[in-house]
């Protein structure tokens, strides 16, 4: 049993790493083939895809995993699928219409190609979440990892073809969009059986998923939005690039943890479904202790390793003060704890608590930025750390409320 758990964890972690590397390869191919200016529409599509993945793919995937683990049958998911598909279709049309209305601003293009891609990316993100949730919910973790890798592998193959053909931005956009079609390889996994015809969802699945989506979206904005915030408050281009690169490096453990998260979601949901509140309380306390330890380790690495790593890989121009690197390292370590607590709240069927926690974190960060203390880079990094710590404290408190 332990050997299988270790194998599954390794498969998910490895798949997450390779998928992340392939994503960077895709974008590098687009920018080198088109140039920074011509690749702007692809950048917009890429940014939207990241948000759609946080809102749709993550929330639907983890809701399915938790529901299958908690119920022990597929009837709840089967009964909810028509409603989810209808909501996803409506959302795809809505995002396509909005993108079409703003196509000149977003894509500097008067056609319908890029707005159509936005609509397809919306539907594709939902479809990907259903496929991954179905696979991981049935503990097919190796297949889930393969699904993750194949999606970006197809995108890279499409980008290579577009680059060799000397195609424009639209071709790279199509390559980005078609990645979600790899889910069709596992289309049989989408057959959820009505094994319990009298069972009904305990709670509205759309309400649960919207709660997950809200917290996940804000967490994603806080985790990746530092460079944008720094540009807005007047940071220099060198500072913006340095913060972007430092955050990307510090997020590496988080990306791996995100890949393993489906396995953790299923385990937590089974514990919650079995009423094992004592074990969940111990996990909550252990998460707090582990997060503090990880924050201390991250601070040490930020002092001793991170400056050398940034200069050695990205060049001497990428440089931040040691104090700022320490705060970024601590913040990303706390983000790992926040991810675990988010999944715990999902297992307890209280995902809206995560949205409240991240809303509070966003308010604190925005207040610090608006106060205007310190120079821009310091202000943004401190806001990032405050947001992560605030979210952690509130998530920890809310995950312990109402335990029976």
Report DSSP letters for 233-253, one per residue.
Answer: TT--HHHHHHHHHHHHHHTHH
Rounded CA gap, 147 and 311, in Å?
35
- Per-residue burial over 164-181, b if 16 or more Cβ lie within 10 Å, else e, is eeebebbbbbbbbbbbbe
- Let me know whether 185 and 46 are in one domain: yes
* Range name among 116-125, 202-211, 361-370 with the lowest pLDDT average: 202-211
Rounded CA gap, 402 and 382, in Å?
33
Residue 312 has pLDDT above 70, yes or no: yes
- Let me know whether 174 and 233 are in one domain: no
In a domain, 100, yes or no: yes
C-alpha distance from residue 44 to each of 25, 176, 233, 299, 403 (Å):
17, 11, 21, 34, 43
- Let me know whether 123 and 233 are in one domain: no
- Let me know whether 228 and 377 are in one domain: yes
In a domain, 404, yes or no: no
In a domain, 78, yes or no: yes
Largest CA-CA distance found in the chain, in angstroms, rounded: 65
What single-letter DSSP state applies at residue 196? S
- Let me know whether 116 and 212 are in one domain: no
| pLDDT tens string 270-305 | 888 888 888 999 999 999 999 999 999 999 999 988
Contact criterion met (CB below 8 Å) for 218 and 361: yes
Domain termination site, one of 177, 202, 227: 202
Q: What pTM did the predictor assign?
A: 0.82
- Let me know whether 178 and 242 are in one domain: no
At 17, is the secondary structure helix, strand, or coil?
Answer: helix
Residue 177 has pLDDT above 80, yes or no: yes
- Let me know whether 45 and 156 are in one domain: yes
Rounded CA gap, 153 and 124, in Å?
16
In a domain, 389, yes or no: yes
Under the banding of pLDDT at 50, 70 and 90, the label for residue 165 is very high
- Let me know whether 179 and 245 are in one domain: no
- Let me know whether 132 and 241 are in one domain: no
- Let me know whether 177 and 100 are in one domain: yes
Domain of residue 389: give its range: 207-399
Q: Comparing 160 with 79, which gets the higher pLDDT? A: 160
Q: How many domains does the chain have?
A: 2
- Let me know whether 174 and 219 are in one domain: no
* Count of C-beta atoms within a 10 Å radius of residue 244: 18
Of 48, 210, 62, 50, the residue nearest 129 (C-alpha): 62
In a domain, 153, yes or no: yes
CA 277 to chain CA mean position, Å: 28
- Let me know whether 264 and 363 are in one domain: yes
In a domain, 86, yes or no: yes
With a CB cutoff of 8 Å and minimum separation 6, the contacts of 109 are 41, 103
Domain termination site, one of 158, 184, 202: 202
Domain termination site, one of 159, 184, 202: 202
Token pair recorded at residue 217: 């979206």
């Amino acid at each position: 049993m332990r050997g299988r758990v270790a194998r599954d964890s390794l498969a998910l972690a490895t798949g997450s790493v390779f998928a992340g590397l392939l994503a960077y390869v895709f974008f590098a191919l687009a920018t080198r083939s088109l140039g920074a200016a011509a690749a702007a529409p692809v950048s917009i599509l890429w940014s939207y895809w990241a948000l759609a993945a946080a809102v749709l793919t993550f929330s639907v995937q983890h809701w399915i995993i938790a529901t299958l683990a908690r119920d022990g049958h597929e009837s709840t998911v089967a009964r909810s699928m028509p409603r989810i598909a209808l909501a996803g279709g409506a959302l795809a049309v809505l995002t396509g219409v909005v993108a079409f209305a703003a196509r000149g601003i977003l894509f500097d293009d008067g056609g319908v190609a890029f707005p159509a891609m936005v609509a397809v990316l919306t539907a594709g993100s939902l479809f990907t979440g259903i496929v991954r949730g179905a696979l991981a919910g049935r503990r097919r973790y190796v297949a889930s990892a393969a699904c993750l890798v194949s999606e970006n592998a197809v995108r890279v193959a499409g980008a290579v073809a577009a680059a060799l053909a000397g195609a424009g931005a639209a071709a790279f956009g199509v390559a980005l969009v078609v990645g979600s079609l790899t889910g069709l390889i596992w289309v049989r996994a989408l057959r959820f059986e009505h094994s319990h015809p009298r069972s009904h969802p305990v709670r509205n699945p759309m309400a649960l998923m919207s709660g997950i989506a809200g917290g996940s979206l804000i967490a994603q904005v806080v985790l990746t939005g530092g460079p944008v915030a720094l540009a807005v408050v007047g940071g220099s281009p060198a500072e913006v690039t340095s913060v972007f690169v430092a955050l990307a490096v510090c997020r590496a453990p988080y990306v791996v943890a995100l890949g393993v998260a489906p396995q953790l979601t299923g385990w937590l949901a089974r514990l919650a479904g079995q009423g094992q509140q004592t074990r969940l309380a111990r996990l909550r306390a252990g998460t707090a202790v582990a997060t503090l330890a990880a924050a201390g380790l991250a601070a040490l690495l930020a002092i001793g390793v991170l400056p050398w790593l940034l200069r050695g890989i990205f060049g001497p121009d990428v440089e931040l003060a040691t104090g700022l690197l320490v705060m970024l390292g601590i913040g990303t370590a706390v983000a790992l704890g926040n991810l675990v607590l988010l999944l715990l709240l999902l297992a307890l069927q209280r995902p809206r608590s995560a949205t409240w926690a991240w809303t509070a974190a966003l308010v604190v960060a925005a207040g610090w930025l608006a106060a205007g203390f310190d120079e821009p880079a310091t202000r943004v990094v401190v806001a990032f750390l405050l947001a992560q710590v605030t979210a952690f404290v509130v998530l920890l408190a809310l995950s312990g409320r109402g335990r029976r």
